[in-house]
């Protein structure tokens, strides 16, 4: 599950709000059993994270478009759900450190040379971090599921990237 999380870059962050769950798509990096996200200094997700640290994070991969399934009900997918505590990194050195880790992870995935986060950038960007306490996942993908979409096979297997 950890390799799958590290190989993706988009997921869904769910937080607890006064009117019920709040879910938002977000770019992330999974490093050292932590989910790192950057965002604005203000906004609903920041307000909710400040008010209640419970968080759920979901990532899924579908190697084929939806199609009718007759007989055996099989729709291939892989998913991971992470549960933990989310916190806003208000300490500048800590925020700078995790923004560096976030950028290094994404730049490596994009095949770009490393680029340091400046102190000015770290001051202007907010960073949220989920300390993953537990995770669960399902892998309902078989090798034949990738026949029509070989590039999606690369998304699942970090070794093929």
Dist. CA 87–CA 159, nearest whole Å: 31
DSSP assignment letter at 32: T
For residue 33, tell me if it sits in a domain. Answer: yes
For residue 20, tell me if it sits in a domain. Answer: yes
Determine phi and psi for 97, rounding to 5 degrees.
-60, -50
Instruction: Show the domain range for 94.
Output: 2-156
DSSP assignment letter at 135: E
Taking the complete model, does pTM exceed 0.75, yes or no? yes
Span 70-90, mean pLDDT? 85
34: domain CATH number is 2.30.110.10
For residue 92, tell me if it sits in a domain. Answer: yes
Determine phi and psi for 116, rounding to 5 degrees.
-70, 150
For residue 161, tell me if it sits in a domain. Answer: no
**How confident is the model over 34-74, as pLDDT tens digits?**
999 999 999 999 999 999 999 999 998 766 666 666 666 66
For residue 14, tell me if it sits in a domain. Answer: yes
Give me the number of domains the chain comprises. 1
For residue 94, tell me if it sits in a domain. Answer: yes
């Amino acid at each position: 599950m950890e390799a799958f999380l590290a190989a993706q870059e988009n997921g869904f962050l769910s937080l607890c709000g006064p009117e019920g769950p709040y879910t938002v798509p977000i770019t992330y990096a999974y490093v050292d059993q932590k989910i790192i996200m950057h965002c604005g200094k203000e906004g609903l997700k920041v307000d909710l994270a400040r008010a209640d640290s419970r968080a759920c994070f979901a990532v899924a991969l579908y190697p084929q478009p939806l199609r009718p399934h007759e007989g055996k009900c099989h729709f291939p997918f892989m998913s991971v759900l992470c549960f933990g505590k989310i916190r806003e990194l208000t300490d500048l050195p800590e925020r700078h450190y995790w923004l560096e880790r976030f950028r290094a992870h994404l730049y490596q995935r994009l095949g770009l040379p490393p680029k340091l986060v400046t102190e000015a950038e770290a001051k202007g960007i907010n960073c949220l971090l989920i300390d993953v306490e537990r995770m669960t996942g399902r892998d309902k993908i078989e090798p034949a599921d990738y026949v029509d979409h070989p590039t999606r096979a690369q998304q699942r297997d970090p070794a093929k990237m």
